[in-house]
Structure formats: structure tokens, C-alpha cells
Structure 1
Amino acid sequence: MVKVLGHRGMGKGEGENSLLSLIRATQFGADGVETDVWLTKDGSLILTHDEDLKRLFGIEIKIKEVSYKELKKAKLISDEKLTTLEKAYLELPNDAIINVEIKDPDAAKFVVPLVRSFNALDRTIFSSFIHECLLDVRKSDPKAKIGLLIGEEAEGKGLEYIEELIAHYNPYSMHLPVQIFENFSLEASMDLLKSLRERNIKVALWTLNDSELAMKVRTCCDYLITDNLMAILAVRGGR
């Protein structure tokens, strides 16, 4: 059965990537969550999507330029605001799947030791648009599951681009944008998903919020990453 992951917890927007949002996603029935990680200047792994805090909190602070202590002093560390990757593993259920999207390449060599300390490598997927940093993840532990995130850079390149990436990185999973069904026909896209799975490459679709589309593709992929958690869980059915 396809697994449903809450995008940034309960979805993009207010409270995204907060500990409360991540926990709520699993409480509502998500199999796990997708979250984003940046490294502070003192080596803390902070969960947030953007390089700065302007969009979320209206503050001109770049994560890489401050320390955890400074963030805490500014009252930005809390269950409703910023949290750490360590805190997520401490508080989320022990069977929750966690898709750690590496936004900051400098964080790549730090994430695996932390996840390994929770004995959680088997339920963690390390993904990134910055594919080269995933080699650092694999270097940290050959058993680490790496997922290649595909985005705008693939536009106009066709399926050959995906094949080249697979040959070079040998990923655990391919994280394809839902727009693939607009760029190619539904039939061609479904054939791609099926061919990847036949080669034992897991397929994750992001960000799939359309329940009608989810109904059509749910049997051809392994993970649905969504902002529309309740609707997609209803389509998937069961737990």
C-alpha cells in the first residue's frame, strides 16, 4: 500500500516544519513526514524550508549565520516555531517514515550520524535537489537511503535525464514532481513510474494534493507527499 507523507508536516504555510505540525500529521494518520533541514553556524540541524526566516516570521535572519543559542534567545525555538531534526526523532512515533530533504549541502555529513543514533536509517529517506550532497550521505553510511528530487531543472530534458541520474547515483528512490503528469501524458507518466518500480527504485510524488489524481496513480508509486493530508489519506484508505 502506498505510504502518505505529510509535506512539512501538516502542509506548506503557517506552522510548516514545526514540531507540532510534524506530530499532528502522524496523529491524523500519515505514515510519516517530509521535512527540510539547514545547518546553523554552530552545527545544529534546524527544520525549515527557506534559507532565511523572512517568509515565516518576517525576520531577516539566515539560518546559516546564527547559532541555535541565538535562535533560542530570539524565542524562535518552540514546538510551534523552529525545531531540530534531533527533536523530531525524539518526539515522532518510532515507526514514522521521515523524508529528510537536505536544503543545505553543509548539513549532508551531519544528518546520517544523528539518524543512526536513533537507529532510524531504515525508515529515513535523505533527499535533495542538490544531488551531489547525497554522495556525502552515502559516504557516511552505504545503507543510507538516498532520494533524487527532480524539479525545474529537468524541464525540457526528457526521460533521458532521469536515466542518466539513475545510472550515476543508483538511488533508493526518485522524487518526481506532480507536474510530470502535465509534461507527459498520464499513460506515459504511469509507464515511467511502473518501469522505475520494476527496477526496484521507489517512487515518491510531490506535492500531490489532488485526490482525483491520487486515486489514479496510487498503485504506481510508493510515497505520496502532500499538503492535503486528510483528502489523500481518504483516497489511500486504511493505515
Structure 2
Amino acid sequence: MGKKTKIALAIAAASAAVWAGTKAVAKPQKREDKDVLSFTRPIVLAHHGGAHLAPEHSMLAFEKAVQYGVDGFKVDVRLTKDEEIILFHDASTERLTGVSSSVKDLTLAELRELNIGENFECLEGNYPYKNEQVEVVTLRELLETFPEKVVYIDIKDAPDTYEGSLMPSKLWRLLEELQATNRVIVSSNYSEQADRFNLYAQNRVALGAGDADITKAYTSFTSQFGHLFNPKVDVFEVPLKSNVMNFDSPKFIKFLSDLNCHVLYTEINDLVTMSRLVRSGATGIITDRPDIAETLLKKYVNV
């Protein structure tokens, strides 16, 4: 036996010993149950209210989505100049309104002078709201208008900005005031924002995974040391694939489900994929097409 072979075998043996040792002592901590995640069937959340059917984050979109029976909404939030929490994805208003301004530099009143339906192109290829006034919606208005719906809230302001530094505390106070803590999920691409929010919430609100949480979970899943993974969030909102990470796997769903974590697949807009994912064990889907998802809901609603 050559020297290199002996070294390789020694390394393999050492690795196996480490794995066996950690496997014997590891006790992964499951996430505690949250009321908002107590569904007994797959759920459907309308992405930005159903962004392919009406202007995103508009009351028009939310009302239309409700007509198709969705369980709730996935929304993005930002802070205005006068510190109102509004539903808005971009840092700039340009894509939606044609007016180039930063959300953080405008008050709620100033934002409501803009038409967020200006550039919305409907499925038929025309622009039905170009000459109408479609206004920005606040998170307060959404929660008060649809008190029975689940709302997945994604904080878009970065933690190192003034707006981002204020958002976790302001969001917590709003949810507490409206007694909405048991029907929301709070997340951010910046995992630090969910951590900051949880300093106020103290695990009383379901938390969604940030980019760092998702990467850590997937790396653990694909390694030999998945048994060492202890999640700090309750929900993983993922696409089918991102770069080299392929989330489209029943095994990935089970890996997280065993830790009482839930998987929501985002921006799924065809019925075949929706059905396949829920058969694989996904908690639900987030879609721009609640009209298509209605068929899926009707299949499970009476189960």
C-alpha cells in the first residue's frame, strides 16, 4: 500500500470518527409551533398581491387575490421619509411610476401622488391603469383590511441604513398594536434584520429565512453534518433553484420539516409545478397568479 493511499485512508477514518462522534451527541433543536403555520393543507400566498393580475402591492391586487381564495399575501415593506411602513419592493419609484425618486426621500403623501399602476402591463398586453390613480398601500391598511389573512412580511431596508435601523422596532410596535403577531411571518434577505426584529418579538412571531439562513441550511443538507444544523427561523421561502443550490427536492423539504421548519416555494405560476411541490411536502406556494392557484386550493380546501 502506497504512502498516499495510507494518508487518504487515515483521513477518511478520521472523518468517519468525527461524524460518528458528532452524530452521537448532536441534539438538533426543533422550532416551536407557531399559530400562523398551523395549516393542515397546502397554503397559497399571493406574491405582492398577485403581481401578474393587477399592479403589485396595490389594493386592487389584494382584493382580486382574495376573490380567488388565497390564504394570504407575501409583501415587501419599506420606510418612508415620515416613517410610515409601506408596501413597496424597489428602493426607487421609477419602475412602477416612471418617476425616479427614492422611497426613503418621500413622505407617504408624496408617494400617494404617484401612480404605482403607471407601468403595469396586464396579461392582454395593454396598460389599463396608465391614466388611473393607483396609490401606495401601508402595511397598517393591509392588516386592517384583511384581518383573517396570513401576511408574509419581507423587510427590504438594509440594516446599515437609517430606515433599516428603525424598521424592526417600528414593525414590532405596529404588529403588537394591531394584535397581528400570530398571523404574520417576518423575514428579510438581510438575516440581521430578522434577528433585530426578534429582539422585540422574543420568538412570539414566526420568522422567515434570510439569504445567510438559506445558504447555511442548504450547505448543511448537502453535507454529512446535517445533524448539526439548528435553525433559528421557522419558514424558508425559496425558488426552485438559485445559482448552484437546487431546492427542488422532497429530501430538502423533509430535512427542514424534521426540524419543524416550513418550505414555501416562491413565484410559482403554473399549476403542474404547484401540484408537484405540494405533493413533495411543501407547506405551500407563493404565486403571481392566484387565478391559477385557485384550482389547487379547491382541491385541498375540503380535505
SS in 2 for 1:122: coil
Q: What is the alpha-carbon distance in structure 2 between the residues aligned to residue 182 and residue 216 of structure 1? A: 21
Query: Where do 1:29-178 residues align within 5 Å?
Result: 29-72=69-112, 74-76=113-115, 80-92=134-146, 94-105=147-158, 106=164, 107-142=167-202, 143-150=204-211, 154=215, 159-160=218-219, 167=230, 170-178=232-240
Deviations 1:69-98 (A, max 9, x none): 3224x3559983311001111111x22000
- Which is higher, the Rg of structure 1 or of structure 2? 2
Between structures 1 and 2, the one with greater strand share: 1
Q: 81-90 or 109-118: which moved more?
A: 109-118
Counterpart AA for 2:235: S
Q: 1:79 to 1:145 in 2, by over 3 A?
A: farther
Q: 1:62 to 1:13 in 2, by over 3 A?
A: farther
Q: 1:227 to 1:182 in 2, by over 3 A?
A: farther
Contact 1:26 1:96 in 2 (8 A): no
Match of 1:17?
Answer: 57
Q: What is the alpha-carbon distance in structure 2 between the residues aligned to residue 79 and residue 91 of structure 1? A: 20
SS in 2 for 1:193: helix
Q: What is the alpha-carbon distance in structure 2 between the residues aligned to residue 184 and residue 69 of structure 1? A: 43
Q: 1:75 to 1:50 in 2, by over 3 A?
A: closer
SS in 2 for 1:174: strand
SS in 1 for 2:170: helix
Question: CA RMSD of the aligned region, Å?
Answer: 2.8
The match for 1:230 among 291, 298, 301 is 291
TM-score by length of 1: 0.85
Q: 1:191 to 1:86 in 2, by over 3 A?
A: same
Q: 1:217 to 1:75 in 2, by over 3 A?
A: closer
Q: 1:207 to 1:182 in 2, by over 3 A?
A: farther
The Cα shift of 1:134 comes to 0.4
The match for 1:193 among 234, 237, 253 is 253
Between the two proteins, what is the percent identity of the paired residues?
23
The Cα shift of 1:5 comes to 0.2
Q: What is the alpha-carbon distance in structure 2 between the residues aligned to residue 185 and residue 75 of structure 1? A: 38
Q: What is the alpha-carbon distance in structure 1 between the residues aligned to residue 246 and residue 108 of structure 2? A: 44
The Cα shift of 1:45 comes to 0.5
Contact 1:4 1:223 in 2 (8 A): yes
Q: What is the alpha-carbon distance in structure 2 between the residues aligned to residue 190 and residue 38 of structure 1? A: 34
SS in 1 for 2:152: strand
The Cα shift of 1:117 comes to 1.4
The Cα shift of 1:135 comes to 0.8
Unaligned runs of 5+ residues in structure 2 are: 1-40, 117-131, 159-163
Counterpart AA for 2:195: L
Count of residues paired in the alignment: 230
The Cα shift of 1:177 comes to 1.2
Counterpart AA for 1:45: I
Counterpart AA for 1:159: Y
Deviations 1:19-64 (A, max 9, x none): 2211221222000001110001211011111011100000111111
Q: 5-14 or 209-218: which moved more?
A: 5-14
Q: 1:172 to 1:185 in 2, by over 3 A?
A: closer
Q: What is the alpha-carbon distance in structure 2 between the residues aligned to residue 23 and residue 119 of structure 1? A: 22
